[in-house]
């Protein structure tokens, strides 16, 4: 069916739609229907409909029709009397871009007042539309509400650019505001918008539109668009509006910053601006524009008139600098889509429009950098002038086949300062080149074409002589020469010719030298000769030192010898190939029958053919004979292989296949490191036939070897004893897979599964909706052996087993079974974690997982889990809770933790994320940290194993990143969302780094996908806590830890003091755990030297009576306040070790003082003179802050009652 365009006439309301007789169509079918309109064709298949009418009431049912996009069905009922009541519905089911799409529409009302509701979904697309229309009214559209998300034009038309569009429209009748005069006549108005979430370059198959907005106004007299704003990428825009009245109107638009490079990558970036108008006058639509880029001296203008009969291009001109192109043309909408066009070039420089630099701009190393050149934004750099003058005329038709006659002639023209000449006539008529001749000489490079091609007796001769490609620019260099002739037709061509290339560079590709000849003729005894001898080839990642090929003989009998040496993707290639055979042509097409006598590759993968291989290859059919070959050390014995239009038969075997070697080849090809370390060697054999019915088997079995994994600080083997899999094709197109794996350190895994399969579109695959059946069993008899795989710090115990039955279909499997575990235990030696007496009973019934009993014991406490998981949906439906009752989680001497509480686990969101909410209270806790941590290697020490690997080594391609701390590392995107309250209880003790603290409070730990772990809460230090500083045990008077961020870095505020002395001194710590600030404090406030003396010794530094003594005291204070002094005193059990003036009156200028505080009030001391044998033993009782009693004996005896008051400080404080 062909539709010929004709003049449009206004639609009018019919007066009567009744028929003069009754009609019934029981079944009407059309297998194929092609609708031709202009140059486009719509194909409809398998159309089936039925209908009936009693003369007034008409019914029509479209039972189905296959469109290029999917299947369509529809039903409608119409009353033939005004107002022509109408009801109906339509459904669409299909695939767009291989994704299922569904759409439905319901129609109601009448022909005078029609109501339609449309809904669509599929892919990412979803949307709705409600439309009310008066098809024969002055305003056809009376109301519309449209909202569609994720509209992709490429899914509808594969040739269209991709986009992610949100389409919105809200049109409603205009109503007058309250108190205003009523609106005259009926009018509709509202906003229309399109927003593209994925704009991009047209060359990248993306739509370069960002968004579009406009306001539409429709009434009985005019249709108006106001405030049109179209935003393009790279700051381009089109704005304006217009009005259409009685079929006549004008839309005036303003273009700004239009970059045609976003639409055509070959054009240079530009900024065009100017007016664009659309005039409608009845059946004629005229488009005119005048766009310019003054900075680049570029411009384009045209006037296009469109009618139902033709499209006429007049007054069209493209300017670049001082040159221009004038264009005229007529494109008719007749049965042949005929056309006539003419272009006149006047001193035009096409390189001013090119995106790539032209003559002389690319040479040497720059020639290989086409990516950068293509993005150049500056004007092309040229060594010489370029201008083209001439004419080009073309006439022809697009239907029923393409035909054209093009004539061109160049006038006064230059290219890179060298004359540019050329003229010719080229004629095409469908698959034939009519007698033509063309010559072209550009910058010293010549092309000559003469003759005809496509029919008997035709002969087309060609000569290419291009010794100066660099003069052409565009990233090219070198010399190319070719000459020869074509005879025959496109279906059966004959080609003879020779070619030569030297130092050719095209972008990043390079050929150092190449030469050869070709003589290819039709017919069984026609010559088939082709030679190639090339060196220094670079094509992307392929780097070949040499490539040689020699094809010699006839189509029926010829030989081929080829070799290549080089590197591909970093892999060495050293390939040789030798074959002989012939081309056979029959009614099924062409087929090559022959023998491959030599095939080797001494690179990667290593390949060697051990016996000749017979080959028969044609359209949809490949047959390989028996042969033997080696591939990466594995011996392959191929007995047969046949692929015939989707059906396949083959038999053979493989011996000594090293998994490690094939993983290395995979790494060389893909860059992915092997997932495991193994020396497993496999054998395999197969013998199967796949067709309408399938028979045979494929089997793989372990010959030897094992798998090793990371184990603590070393590696450990699994202890593989058996590994095998066998797939058997059973009657009824059923594939039965039996697999078995045994390892001493794990256990046994056995599977026996049967799945349905079928041949679809020439490819065998699993049938999604076929019956699935099978059984999977796993048995771990001793978790103790399994725990050894994780290193000496992990101790596991008990046994576990899993037994599953599988049913349902491959896309909706139905799993039932049981997971059991008995006498389970887990101990983390380093952490002191110990769980024991565990028992697990998890039942699976038709994809419902139920935790019947999951229980572990820790000390006198227990840990239980209850709940269920539904596995049917896209995301598991989880509802579970974890209950701890006085669970002793840590049980090491220096680390104890017992807690109680409950947490619930549930789904959070549609993507299968989890939500954990819990509340726990610590029953008892002790964390006693050692004074010095365990020794460890520095970060710059790396241990390399004998095989060259490093523990935890992974392939990154970049420098190894510094590991993040747990609280700094963002949680994975699918990590659970957690909110857990932890109460520290009344028995939480922390000892370490000089602190002995009791802690109380509550912390809320929170995590979310993509967010680091954080905590909120306050913890206070209880009474009786102490902090040892400078060798003195101080009482903590107040202490707080504030959490409001990372778990490991809370805020801290601790004050620890030494009381009951004249100057009460202590330490205050503020800031955060990771960045604390420590300072000395005292009451009253004294210098830091005095504070340290009162903190260490219980007295000030003013006991020295001269400068030498003060300096000695200062040095002693520095020593004793340091870590060294602290170790000296504490190593012999003393609190004070100093040098200074005697407290009891010894006459020596300096004495050694040692003391030990029995408690806060009672101190024992001893003094020994440095210059005599005088000594003294002293006991001091501190009665109050200012009063003390001292008794001493030795050289002097006595009792002192001391009252101490510092008046210098006292006066200053007042």
pLDDT in tens, 116-139: 999 998 877 889 999 998 888 777
Mean pLDDT is lowest, of 644-648, 660-664, 829-833, for 829-833
Q: Spell out the long-range contacts of 304-307 with Cβ–Cβ below 8 A and sequence spacing 24 or more.
A: 307/283
Query: Which residues, listed in sequence order, are joined to residue 67 by a DSSP beta bridge?
Result: 70
Confidence of residue 936 (pLDDT cuts 50, 70, 90): low
**Cα 627 from Cα 637, distance rounded (Å):** 6
Contact 887, 863 (CB under 8 A): yes
Residues 6+ apart with CB under 8 A from 4: 335
Residues 6+ apart with CB under 8 A from 410: 388, 389, 390, 420, 421, 422, 423
Helix (DSSP H) and strand (DSSP E) numbers for the chain:
8, 77
Contact 645, 639 (CB under 8 A): no
DSSP 267: B
Q: What is the CA radius of gyration of the chain?
A: 46
pLDDT for the residue numbered 1141: 74
pLDDT for the residue numbered 652: 95
Q: How far is CA 1007 from CA 171, 979, 982, 989, in A?
A: 46, 7, 14, 26
Residue with tokens 């119409």: 78
Segment 1071-1086 shows an average pLDDT of 84
Is pLDDT above 90 for 956? no
Model confidence pLDDT, tens digit, residues 321-378 = 999 999 999 999 888 889 999 999 999 998 888 876 444 443 333 333 333 333 333 3
**Farthest CA pair distance, the chain:** 147
pLDDT for the residue numbered 88: 94
**Cα 1120 from Cα 1139, distance rounded (Å):** 10
Burial of residue 507 (CB within 10 Å: 0-12, 13-18, 19+) is middle
pLDDT for the residue numbered 369: 37
Segment 18-45 shows an average pLDDT of 84
Segment 826-844 shows an average pLDDT of 83
Is the pLDDT higher at 979 or at 577? 577
Segment 237-242 shows an average pLDDT of 95
Is the pLDDT higher at 1096 or at 224? 224
**In 3D, which of 606, 605, 611 has the Cα closest to residue 628?**
611
Confidence of residue 1 (pLDDT cuts 50, 70, 90): low
Is pLDDT above 70 for 16? yes
Model confidence pLDDT, tens digit, residues 842-882 = 998 888 888 889 898 887 888 898 888 877 765 567 788 88
Mean pLDDT is lowest, of 172-181, 389-398, 1140-1149, for 172-181
pLDDT for the residue numbered 1091: 80
**Cα 253 from Cα 257, distance rounded (Å):** 13
Can you give the residue ranges of every domain in the chain? 351-501, 1099-1213
Confidence of residue 948 (pLDDT cuts 50, 70, 90): low
pLDDT for the residue numbered 916: 85
Structure tokens given for 132: 């009310």
Is pLDDT above 70 for 379? no
Average pLDDT, rounded, for the chain? 83
Confidence of residue 910 (pLDDT cuts 50, 70, 90): low
Model confidence pLDDT, tens digit, residues 604-652 = 889 999 999 999 998 888 999 999 999 988 999 999 999 987 788 999 9
Over pLDDT 70: what percentage of the chain?
A: 85
**In 3D, which of 478, 576, 579 has the Cα closest to residue 536?**
478
Strand order in the sheet with 707-711: 677-678, 707-711, 714-717
Model confidence pLDDT, tens digit, residues 456-487 = 889 999 999 999 998 887 778 999 999 999 99
**Cα 750 from Cα 732, distance rounded (Å):** 24
Confidence of residue 585 (pLDDT cuts 50, 70, 90): confident
Segment 963-969 shows an average pLDDT of 47
Is pLDDT above 80 for 429? yes
Model confidence pLDDT, tens digit, residues 92-115 = 988 776 678 889 999 999 988 999
Is pLDDT above 60 for 1213? no
pLDDT for the residue numbered 1214: 40
pLDDT for the residue numbered 967: 47
Confidence of residue 965 (pLDDT cuts 50, 70, 90): very low
**In 3D, which of 62, 11, 75 has the Cα closest to residue 33?**
62
pLDDT for the residue numbered 973: 47
Segment 779-806 shows an average pLDDT of 86
């Amino acid at each position: 069916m062909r539709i010929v365009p004709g003049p449009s006439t206004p639609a009018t309301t019919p007066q009567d739609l009744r028929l003069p007789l009754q009609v019934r169509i029981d079944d009407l079918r059309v297998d194929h229907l092609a609708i031709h309109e202009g140059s486009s064709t719509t194909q409809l298949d398998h159309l089936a409909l039925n209908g009936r009418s009693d003369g007034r009431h008409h019914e029509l049912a479209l039972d189905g029709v296959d469109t290029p996009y999917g299947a369509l069905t529809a039903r409608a009922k119409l009353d033939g009397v005004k107002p022509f009541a109408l009801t109906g519905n339509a459904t669409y089911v299909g695939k767009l871009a291989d994704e299922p799409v569904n759409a439905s529409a319901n129609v109601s009302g009448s022909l005078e007042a029609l109501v339609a509701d449309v809904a669509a979904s599929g892919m990412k697309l979803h949307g709705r539309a409600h439309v009310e229309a008066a098809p024969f009214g002055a305003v056809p559209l009376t109301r519309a509400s449209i909202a569609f998300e994720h509209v992709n034009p490429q899914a509808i038309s594969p040739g269209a650019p991709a986009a992610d569009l949100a389409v919105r429209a809200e049109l409603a009748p205009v109503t007058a505001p309250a108190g205003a005069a009523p609106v005259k006549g009926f009018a509709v108005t509202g906003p229309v918008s399109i927003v593209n979430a994925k704009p991009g370059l047209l060359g990248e198959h993306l739509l370069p539109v960002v968004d579009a907005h406009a306001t539409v106004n429709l009434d009985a007299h005019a249709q108006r668009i106001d405030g049109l704003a179209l935003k393009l990428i790279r700051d381009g825009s089109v704005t304006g509006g217009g009005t259409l009245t009685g079929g006549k109107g004008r839309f005036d638009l303003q273009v700004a910053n239009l970059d045609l490079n976003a639409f055509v990558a070959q054009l240079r970036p530009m900024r065009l601006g100017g007016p664009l108008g659309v005039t409608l006058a009845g059946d004629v639509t005229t488009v005119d524009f005048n766009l310019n880029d003054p900075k680049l001296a570029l411009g384009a203008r045209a006037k296009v008139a469109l009618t139902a009969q033709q499209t006429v291009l007049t007054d069209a001109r493209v300017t670049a600098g001082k040159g221009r192109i004038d264009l005229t043309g007529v494109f008719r909408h007749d049965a042949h889509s005929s056309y006539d066009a003419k272009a006149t070039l006047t001193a035009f420089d096409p390189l001013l429009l090119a995106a790539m630099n032209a003559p002389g701009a690319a040479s040497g190393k720059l020639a290989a950098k086409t990516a950068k050149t293509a993005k150049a934004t500056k004007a092309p750099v040229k060594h010489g002038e370029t201008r083209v003058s001439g004419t080009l005329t073309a006439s022809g038709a697009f239907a029923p086949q393409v035909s054209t006659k093009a004539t061109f002639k160049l006038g006064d023209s230059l290219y890179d300062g060298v004359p540019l000449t050329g003229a010719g006539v080229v004629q095409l008529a469908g698959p034939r080149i009519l007698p033509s001749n063309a010559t072209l000489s550009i910058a010293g490079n010549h092309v000559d074409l003469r003759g005809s091609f496509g029919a008997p007796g035709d002969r087309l001769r060609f000569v290419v002589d291009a010794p100066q490609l660099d003069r052409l620019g565009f990233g090219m260099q070198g010399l190319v020469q070719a000459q020869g002739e074509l005879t025959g037709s496109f279906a059966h061509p004959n080609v003879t010719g020779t070619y030569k290339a030297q130092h050719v560079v095209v972008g990043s590709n390079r050929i150092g030298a190449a030469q050869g000849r070709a003589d290819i003729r039709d017919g069984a005894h026609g010559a088939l000769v082709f030679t190639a001898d090339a060196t220094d080839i670079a094509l992307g990642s392929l780097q070949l030192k040499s490539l040689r090929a020699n094809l010699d003989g006839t189509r029926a009998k010829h030989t081929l010898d080829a070799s290549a040496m080089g590197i591909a993707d970093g892999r060495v290639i050293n390939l040789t190939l030798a074959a002989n055979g012939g081309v056979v042509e029959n009614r099924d097409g062409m087929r090559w029958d022959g023998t491959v006598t030599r095939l080797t590759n001494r690179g990667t993968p290593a390949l060697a053919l051990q016996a000749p291989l017979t080959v028969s290859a044609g359209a949809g059919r490949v047959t390989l004979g028996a042969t033997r070959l080696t591939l990466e050390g594995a011996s392959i014995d191929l007995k047969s292989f046949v692929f015939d239009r989707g059906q396949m038969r083959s038999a053979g075997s493989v011996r000594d296949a090293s998994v490690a070697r094939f993983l290395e080849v995979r790494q060389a090809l893909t860059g992915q490191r092997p997932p495991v370390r193994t020396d497993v060697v496999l054998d395999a054999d197969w013998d199967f036939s796949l067709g309408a019915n399938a028979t045979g088997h494929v089997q793989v079995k372990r010959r030897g070897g094992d798998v090793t994994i990371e184990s603590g600080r070393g590696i450990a083997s699994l202890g593989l004893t058996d590994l095998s899999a066998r797939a058997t094709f059973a009657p009824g197109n059923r594939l039965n897979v039996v697999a078995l794996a045994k390892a001493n350190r794990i256990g046994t895994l056995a599977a026996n599964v049967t799945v349905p399969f079928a041949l679809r579109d020439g490819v065998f695959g699993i049938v999604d909706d076929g019956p699935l059946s099978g059984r999977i069993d796993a048995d771990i008899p001793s978790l103790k052996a399994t725990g050894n795989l994780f290193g000496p710090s992990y101790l596991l115990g008990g046994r576990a087993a899993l037994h599953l039955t599988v049913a349902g279909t491959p896309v909706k499997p139905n799993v039932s079974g049981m997971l059991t575990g008995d006498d389970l235990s887990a101990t983390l030696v380093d952490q002191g974690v110990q769980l024991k007496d565990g028992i697990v009973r998890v039942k699976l019934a038709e994809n419902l997982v139920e935790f019947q009993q999951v229980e572990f014991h820790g000390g006198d406490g227990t840990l239980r889990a209850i709940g269920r998981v539904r596995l049917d949906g896209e995301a598991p439906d989880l509802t579970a809770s974890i209950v701890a009752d006085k669970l002793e989680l840590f049980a090491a001497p220096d680390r104890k933790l017992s807690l109680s509480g409950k947490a619930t686990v549930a789904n959070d969101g549609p993507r299968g994320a989890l939500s954990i909410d819990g509340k726990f209270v610590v029953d008892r806790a002790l964390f006693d940290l050692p004074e010095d941590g365990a020794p460890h290697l520095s970060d710059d020490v790396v241990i390399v194993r004998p095989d060259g690997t490093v523990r935890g080594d992974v392939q990154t391609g970049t420098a190894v990143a510094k590991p993040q701390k747990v609280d700094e590392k963002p949680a994975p995107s699918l990590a659970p969302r957690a909110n857990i309250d932890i109460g520290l209880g009344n028995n939480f003790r922390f000892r370490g780094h000089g602190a002995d603290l009791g802690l109380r409070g509550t912390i809320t730990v929170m995590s979310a996908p993509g967010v680091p772990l954080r905590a909120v809460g306050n913890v206070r230090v209880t009474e009786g806590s102490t902090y040892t500083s400078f060798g003195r045990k101080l009482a903590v008077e107040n202490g707080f830890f504030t959490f409001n961020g990372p778990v490991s870095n809370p805020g801290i505020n601790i004050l620890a003091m030494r009381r009951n002395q004249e100057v009460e001194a202590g330490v205050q710590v503020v800031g955060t755990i990771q960045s604390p600030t420590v300072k000395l404090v005292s009451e009253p406030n004294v210098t830091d030297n005095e504070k340290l003396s009162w903190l260490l010794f219980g007295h000030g530094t003013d006991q020295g009576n001269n400068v030498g003594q003060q300096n000695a005291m200062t040095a002693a204070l520095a020593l004793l306040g340091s870590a060294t002094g602290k170790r000296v005193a504490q190593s012999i059990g003393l609190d004070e070790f100093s040098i200074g003036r005697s407290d009891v009156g010894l006459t020596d200028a300096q004495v050694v003082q040692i003391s030990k505080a029995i408690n806060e009030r009672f101190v024992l001391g001893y003094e020994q003179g440095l210059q005599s044998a005088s000594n003294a033993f002293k006991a001091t009782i501190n009665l109050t802050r200012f009063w003390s009693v001292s008794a001493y004996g030795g050289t002097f005896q006595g009792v002192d009652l001391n009252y101490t008051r510092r008046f210098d400080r006292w006066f200053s404080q007042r």
